[in-house]
Amino acid sequence: MTAEPAAQGQAPAGPLRRLMARGLVRAGMVTYLFSGVTMVAYLVSGVVSARALGPDGRGITAALTMVIQLAAFVFSMGASRSLSYFIARRREDGPSLLTTWTLMLIPLTAVAIGVTELLLPTIFSTDGERAIEVGRWFAFTIVLGVGLELIYGLLLGVQDFVFFNVVRLAQPAAIAATFAVLWWQDSLTVESALIGSTAATGVTLVVGMARALRRIGIGPLDTRMGLSTLWYGVRGQGQAVASNVTARLDVAILPAFVVTASVGLYSVATNVSLIVYHLSNIFAGVVVAAVAAHPGRARVKVIGSLWGALVLSGLLALFLGLFARPILGLVYGDSFRDAADSLVLLLPGAVLFAGSSILAAGIYAAGRPFTATIAQVAGTVVTVVGLLLFVSSGGITAAALVSTASYATVFVATLVLYKRVSETPWRSFLPTPSTVRAALR
Domain-located, residue 160? yes
Predicted pLDDT at 211: 93
- What is the average pLDDT value for the chain, to the nearest integer? 81
Domain-located, residue 119? yes
What is the average per-residue pLDDT within 260-275?
Answer: 79
- CA pair distance 262, 108, nearest whole angstrom: 34
Domain-located, residue 7? no
Domain-located, residue 8? no
Residue 57 has pLDDT above 80, yes or no: no
Residue 157 has pLDDT above 80, yes or no: yes
Residue 10 has pLDDT above 50, yes or no: no
pTM over 0.85: no
> What is the per-residue pLDDT across 409-423, written as a single tens digit (0 to 9) for each?
999 999 999 998 888
The segment with the largest mean pLDDT, out of 12-16, 114-118, 245-249, is: 114-118
What is the average per-residue pLDDT within 276-286?
Answer: 82
Q: What percent of the chain has pLDDT above 90?
A: 21
Out of 97-101, 170-174, 216-220, 288-292, pick the least confident. Answer: 288-292
> What is the per-residue pLDDT across 160-178, written as a single tens digit (0 to 9) for each?
888 888 888 888 899 888 8
Query: Predicted confidence band at 241 (pLDDT cuts at 50, 70, 90)?
Result: low
Predicted pLDDT at 416: 93
Domain-located, residue 300? yes
Predicted pLDDT at 436: 52
The segment with the largest mean pLDDT, out of 51-65, 122-136, 206-220, 384-398, is: 206-220
What is the average per-residue pLDDT within 291-307?
Answer: 80
Out of 133-147, 294-308, 315-329, pick the least confident. Answer: 294-308
The segment with the largest mean pLDDT, out of 33-47, 307-321, 386-400, 421-435, is: 307-321
Domain-located, residue 173? yes
Residue 90 has pLDDT above 70, yes or no: yes
Query: Predicted confidence band at 6 (pLDDT cuts at 50, 70, 90)?
Result: very low
Q: Quote the number of domains for the chain.
A: 1
237 or 171, greater pLDDT = 171
The answer to whether 84 and 153 have CB atoms below 8 angstroms apart is yes
In which domain, by residue range, is 382 found?
14-440
72 or 246, greater pLDDT = 72
What is the average per-residue pLDDT within 216-233?
Answer: 90
Domain-located, residue 9? no
Q: What percent of the chain has pLDDT above 70?
A: 88
218 or 50, greater pLDDT = 218
Domain-located, residue 5? no
Predicted pLDDT at 260: 66
